[in-house]
Amino acid sequence: MSDSDNAIANDRPSRRKAVLWATAGVAAVAGAGLAWRSTAAKGDDSGAALWQQQFDKPDGQPLDLAGFRGKGKLIVNFWATWCPPCVAELPMLDRFGRDFAGKGWQVLGLAVDQPSSVRKFLAARPIAFPVGMAGLEGTDLSRRLGNTQGSLPFTVVFASNGTVLHRKIGQLTEADLGSWV
């Protein structure tokens, strides 16, 4: 055998190990993702941090999030005025909130933005559901609720008992809302 043949033969076990390790890594990541999704689907209590929060509304009045617990399912939407997908989904969430309020659903917006920007935005495009001025604290809260990327928009659906039912990073669709109902 030539030197190059020996090098290839000796390299096969290390390549095989690399492929096995890569496959194991992919399987671990996929398994973790499935576990996270199934936990969210079954309902988890990672939302406990939410119920202890209090933010100001755009008018300066306090918004105690514990007041939403136990009053039906709750959609919490993290958004900002500078986020085009956030702005695009707000009218749909507003309609959903009005249409399903009598059917045990609540909608809450948490603005991860400057209060002055939110006030100006809402003056031009009012919405019926309550909005909390979460600011940068909202990013931390969204991460604790499963938004590992810190992206906007981010939406979490809670059961009336406060457990997390669903999470979505990115713009909501009518299909998302329909599947949650």
Q: Which residue has the higher pLDDT, 27 or 173?
A: 173
Q: Which residue has the higher pLDDT, 32 or 14?
A: 14
Check pLDDT > 70 for residue 155.
yes
Q: Are residues 35 and 77 in the same domain?
A: no
Which pLDDT band, with edges at 50, 70 and 90, does 48 fall under? confident
Cα(125)–Cα(89) distance, rounded to whole angstroms?
12
Q: Are residues 56 and 33 in the same domain?
A: no
Q: Are residues 57 and 142 in the same domain?
A: yes
Cα(63)–Cα(94) distance, rounded to whole angstroms?
18
The string of pLDDT tens digits covering residues 85-114 is 999 999 999 999 999 999 999 999 999 999
Q: Are residues 88 and 172 in the same domain?
A: yes
Check pLDDT > 60 for residue 2.
no
CATH number at residue 162: 3.40.30.10
Q: Are residues 34 and 120 in the same domain?
A: no
Its domain, for residue 8, covers 1-42
Instruction: Name the DSSP letter for residue 72.
Output: S
> Looking at residue 32, what is its pLDDT?
34
By CB neighbour count within 10 A (0-12 exposed, 13-18 middle, 19+ buried), where does 163 fall? Answer: middle
Which pLDDT band, with edges at 50, 70 and 90, does 31 fall under? very low
Q: Are residues 113 and 25 in the same domain?
A: no
Q: Are residues 25 and 73 in the same domain?
A: no
User: In 3-state terms, what secondary structure has residue 169?
Assistant: strand
Which pLDDT band, with edges at 50, 70 and 90, does 34 fall under? very low
Question: What is the tally of structural domains in the chain?
Answer: 2
| pTM, 2 dp | 0.75
Q: What is the mean pLDDT of the chain?
A: 83
Check pLDDT > 90 for residue 35.
no
Q: Which residue has the higher pLDDT, 153 or 19?
A: 153
> Looking at residue 9, what is its pLDDT?
53
The total of other beta-carbon atoms located within 10 Å of residue 136's CB is 10
Q: Are residues 88 and 157 in the same domain?
A: yes
Instruction: Identify the CA nearest to 176 among candidates 68, 69, 93, 85.
Output: 93
Q: Mean pLDDT across the stretch 108-132? A: 97
CB 167 within 8 A of CB 146: yes
Q: Are residues 38 and 115 in the same domain?
A: no
